[in-house]
């Protein structure tokens, strides 16, 4: 949208339409747990939200962020 500001509204409409075609589930993140999780693993609350979701769903966490990946491995070991 920065490259084509005149087309911004059209691109946004197309994006929203494309999202509507996906099968997505919204998940409420444990906001009260994020600061503690972030602090224990040295993460931002933003990254801690991804960690929380992976742990809550016992799902793998796929990321190129080494710190987040290490935090996930550590957290999984703490649970086991």
Mean pLDDT by 10 residues, the chain (80 residues): 75 88 85 94 96 94 96 93
pTM: 0.70
Evaluated on CA atoms 64, 47, 57, 15, the torsion sign reads negative
Contact 52, 39 (CB under 8 A): no
d(CA 79, CA 30): 17
Provide the pLDDT for residue 40.
95
d(CA 37, CA 46): 11
In residues, how long is the chain?
80
Domain edges within the chain: 25-79
């Amino acid at each position: 949208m920065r490259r084509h500001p005149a087309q911004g509204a059209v691109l946004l409409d197309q994006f929203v339409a494309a999202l509507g075609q996906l099968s997505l589930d919204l998940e409420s993140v444990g906001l009260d747990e994020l600061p503690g999780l972030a602090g224990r693993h040295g993460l931002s609350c933003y990254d801690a939200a991804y960690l929380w979701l992976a742990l809550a769903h016992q799902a793998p966490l796929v990321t190129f962020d080494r710190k987040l990946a290490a935090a996930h491995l550590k957290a999984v070991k703490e649970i086991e």
